[in-house]
Amino acid sequence: YRQRNEVKISARKVFVTAGAAFLLLLVLCYAALHIVVRSDWLRVRLQSELGQRTGQELQIGGLRLDPWLTFVVSAISVSRDGRALFQANEVACALGPIDILQGRIRSLSLHKPVVRVPLREFFKTSGGASPQISFGALNIEDGEFVLETEGGQAVALRSLFLSAKDVSLGGTAGLQLRAYLPQLGGTASLSLSGRATAMQAKIVIAQAEGKSKSRILERAGEKPVFDARFQVSMKETGKYEFNGSGNIDGLRWGGNEAFTGKFTSLLELDAKLQNALFSLDLETPGFPSGRLPVSLAVGAVKAQVNAHYSAAAKTLAVKQIKAISALGTLEGQAAVSLAETPARITGDVRLRDVAIDSLKPLMPDPLRRSTYNGKIAADFKLTGPYNDPAASGLAWSDGAKVTGEKLSLSSLSFKAPFQWSSAGLKIKAAELRGKELSFGKKGEMQIKADRVSVTSDAGKAGPGPMEIAAGFDIADGRFANPEGTRIGEHLNAKGRLIVSQRDGETFVKGEARTESLEMLWGSFFGDFKEQKPAIEVDGRYRAAAGELTLDKLRISLASAGSVEIKGRIQHLPDDPTFNLEVRSDDLRHAGFYDFFIKDTFKIGYPILGQIGATGRSSFTLSAQGALGSFTVDGNLRLAESVIQEKAGSWRVGPIGLDLPLKLRFPEAAKESSNETAPVGKLTIQQIQTQSTKIPAISAPIVLWNNSLRFPDPIQVPLFGGAGSIEDLAWRDIIGAPRDMGLSLRLDGLRLSDLTETLGWYRFNGTLSGSIPGVRWVGESLKSDGTITLDAFGGKIAVRGMEIEQPLSPGRSIKMTAKLDGLNLEQASETFQFGHISGVLAGAIDGLVLSQGQAAAFDADLHTVEKSVVGQLISVEALNNLTVISSGNDGGSVLGGIASFFDSFRYSKLGFKAALKNDILLLRGVEGSEGKEYLVVGSWLPPTVNIVSYTQEISFSELLRRLERIQKTGGAQSAQP
């Protein structure tokens, strides 16, 4: 047992000793090989041996051995006949024992190699068998390939980088190379074969979706997406010909969009590379528009290129370039001068049949929503450095049509001269003309014009925004409200607009002047031709926030003055809200009144045509809210304002007003507010008529939350007495502008002054009374209470007074009146009807006055006996009553008795009358035996009875009888 263990220990020692000796031997051999490789002897021997075998001159700067078995040659150069063929800073060649047996190099890396190949040598054959050399990996870093012609000219390809696997050289296969293309996320295979005067090249590119781009090569699962073959040959004439064709099937680069198509190409070179002819035909069923700066629907493309290169002239002439696609057709020629640094290009390019609708991606968003039928053409020249050319030319279109939800144009033509370069874009004096413009859809404000024209200049500096300066002309325009009712026509306007962009904002500045415009809006009609409306605007729009800032919006009329608006409008265009300041420093009353009020309403209200207004006003207002609901607050001032009748019969003013205000649209706030309403002041220095002057009136006034009211009674000295207007207020002047209420008190007004001023029958006495609860609602002015007047020693009570359309010439007045205790002696003297004494009472029911004349009533007026008042009637009064009742002179009734007495006693006097449809039924105060008595005589003489013989007459006939009385002097100053 001990002997067996000793034997095992001894064997283990032998193996360990042998292994250590072998390892030591390898280290010694590697050390010896390292020393030998770095020795000058081996470097010189390699230079000599390789030079003799290849017939080349070989220079090696140094040799070294890196782990593991990687031979590194530094500063190597190969030349022949004094001409360098190959140079490299460093060449690293990795070999293994197995690689040596297989005739294979595991990897070969070249750092900054320079390869120079004479063109003739490229096609020259050695006559012997080509060596079989393969590389497991081939890497080239910052290489250069130079192809030299027989004339000494050279074509160089610099900054070459290559990382390839499984590279084979020599034999019948020629060159086979496989490389990873990181830009394409795939691999490329290159094979080159053939000898002597003809060679064949094949390039295949494969891609696989989802493969990691960090991997150098990936064979499995890749799909060929590019397959091209080239025939390279040298003709007997010494020319070289490169003839190629290929297919592209789903090639992707820079994105997921794939490119598919096919091509053919031809390149012809002379022996000295002095001249070259090139042609290319390309077809693709769908151009990858995602590669363009703006996505356009290019569609299928057919392209042709024919070019000629001359080394002697140092020019590249593109004889023809043509591309046909769904966008249109491009044709042109160009020449590139290579003698200059950088090379310069000149060329002519023509674009035809470019569909406007296909260019919508280039348009602003609002214009993309329309459809365009028509085409654009352009001619332009290219000049300048090849890498920064400038283009100048003309683009135009004729007879295009625009159709959209809001915008339509039946005929659109334009011409746009332009200059473009990397420094920017300039468009000078571009012209745009259109016919039958329509903007706005059904249910919205619509604007139309027969003709529009625009002349504009535009510019864009480098990558900066576009700036446009345009003049516009609108001819025979019109617009309608959302219901389709035309509210404006015969619009002719001109103006100018400047639009620019900066920091995400669009700046707009411009002005417009209207030469003619007629507007009909509700009751308003205006011909603006003499007013010359003008608009000035200066603002900016931030599309990202939907915000419009108005630094200035000024609207001016020649006679009325101007209004200026500033502020912001937000949440455009869907749900706009605004915060604006509106002001005017010089609003002229005469121009405003004449144009907006008098000229519009004088036909319906003739009195307005007899009134004039002077003075000036100013206001500063703030408006906040949305179109459907907003608030206006600020201050209104009137100065030296005068309202007067043009013939001078009356005059009110000067009027002064200082009024803080707050208005809410469309109606006042429903909930009461605790805020204290500020109080303004209204002053009227004088009210003057031809016979009366009313001194200054001053009253506080409040306009707050749509309520216009006078908090204190307005005291007016009037006709020797006083008038008091109380509780004068409009509840909501915006939501209900005709809902007005007041009450009126009159105390001691001299009737002589009042009647003279009003042109009535002049009579003496005083007038006192009250008009409680007057309200103006809708088209009617109503009094809820009783109007009591003290007149002729008695009282007149008016109830249910209502005035329909009080400002209209066709106004209608309705009322019921009750008379009590009126002294007939005072009344008859006043109206010069003759002398009548007594006391009158009665009622007039359903009185309707239309256009100043009675249209209907039921009247019962009669005398009442008073012990202290006698009842006498003069002959003159009896005669006038006879004319009214019968149409005959009173002398035929009274006979000779009239010559004996001046007056007669009566017991009753009066009448009952009903008027309807111009038919008056006149009855007496008493009826007997088929007779109606207007005057019933007393028991005591002298006495007389007056009978109404004409009981039913037309009211117009009654008026004629009253006129007859006037002419005969019975009532010379009476006015029926």
pLDDT tens profile 725-735:
888 888 888 87
Flag whether pLDDT at 12 surpasses 60. yes
Judging by beta carbons within 10 Å of its beta carbon (0-12, 13-18, 19+), is residue 917 exposed, middle or buried? exposed
Q: What DSSP line would sit under 492-524, residue for residue?
A: EEEEEEEEEEETTEEEEEEEEEEEEEEEEETTE
- Phi/psi for 945 (5° steps) reads -115, 140
Q: 């190629």: which residue's tokens? A: 244
Least confident of 394-403, 747-756, 812-821: 747-756
**pLDDT reading at 238 higher than 80:** no
Cβ contacts of 241-246, under 8 Å, gap ≥ 24 = 241/266, 241/267, 241/268, 241/269, 242/266, 242/267, 242/268, 242/269, 243/267, 246/203
User: Given CA atoms 556, 557, 559, 565 in this order, what sign does their dihedral have?
Assistant: negative
C-alpha to C-alpha distance for 318 and 337, rounded to whole angstroms = 11
Q: Do residues 792 and 823 make contact, with C-beta atoms less than 8 angstroms apart?
A: yes
Report d(CA 547, CA 567) in Å as an integer. Answer: 11
Least confident segment among 249-253, 637-641, 854-858, 971-975: 971-975
CA-wise closest residue to 912 among 920, 922, 903: 922
User: SS3 string of 271-315?
Assistant: CCCCEEEEEEEEEEEECCHHHCCCCCCCCCEEEEEEEEEECCCCE
Question: E-strand spans in 792-837?
Answer: 794-804, 812-823
Q: How confident is the model at residue 60 (pLDDT cuts 50, 70, 90)?
A: confident
Contact 265, 203 (CB under 8 A): no
pLDDT of residue 150: 56
Q: What is the pLDDT of residues 345-377, one digit of tens each?
A: 999 999 998 888 887 777 766 677 788 888 899
- Per-residue pLDDT reduced to its tens digit, 271-297: 776 788 989 999 998 877 665 655 677
pLDDT of residue 216 exceeding 50, the answer is no
Answer yes or no: is pLDDT of 96 > 80.
no
Gap between the Cα atoms of 223 and 287, Å rounded: 20
pLDDT at 213: 41
Q: What is the pLDDT of residue 967?
A: 60
What would the pLDDT profile of 799-815 be if each residue is shown by its tens digit?
888 887 766 666 778 88
Helix (H) or strand (E) segment spanning residue 211: none
How many Å apart are CA 918 and CA 955, to the nearest integer?
5
Count helices and strands (H / E) in the chain. 13, 58
Judge whether 389 and 399 are in contact, CB under 8 Å.
Answer: no
The per-residue pLDDT for 126 is: 46
CA atoms of 469 and 5, how far apart (whole Å): 109
Q: What percent of the chain has pLDDT over 70?
A: 81
Residue 677's Cβ-side half-sphere holds a number of Cα atoms within 13 Å equal to: 20
Q: What is the pLDDT of residue 333?
A: 93
Closest by alpha carbon to 857, among 806, 798, 811, 814?
Answer: 814
**Does residue 352 sit in helix, strand or coil?**
strand
Query: What's the rounded mean pLDDT across residues 472-495?
Result: 84
Share of the chain residues as helix, strand and coil, in percent rounded to the nearest 5? 15, 60, 25
d(Cα 864, Cα 558) in Å, to the nearest integer? 67
The residues that bridge with 673 in the sheet, in sequence order, are none
896 secondary structure, DSSP code: G
Which tens digits make up the pLDDT trace of 819-838? 898 888 877 776 666 788 88
DSSP 388-430: S-EEEEEEEEEEEEEEESSEEEEEEEEEEEEEEETTEEEEEEE
The SS3 of residue 172 is: coil
SS3 5: helix
d(CA 105, CA 80): 26
User: CA-to-CA distance for 873 and 743, rounded, in angstroms?
Assistant: 40
In angstroms, the CA 198 to CA 181 distance is 28
3-state SS assignment for residue 671? coil
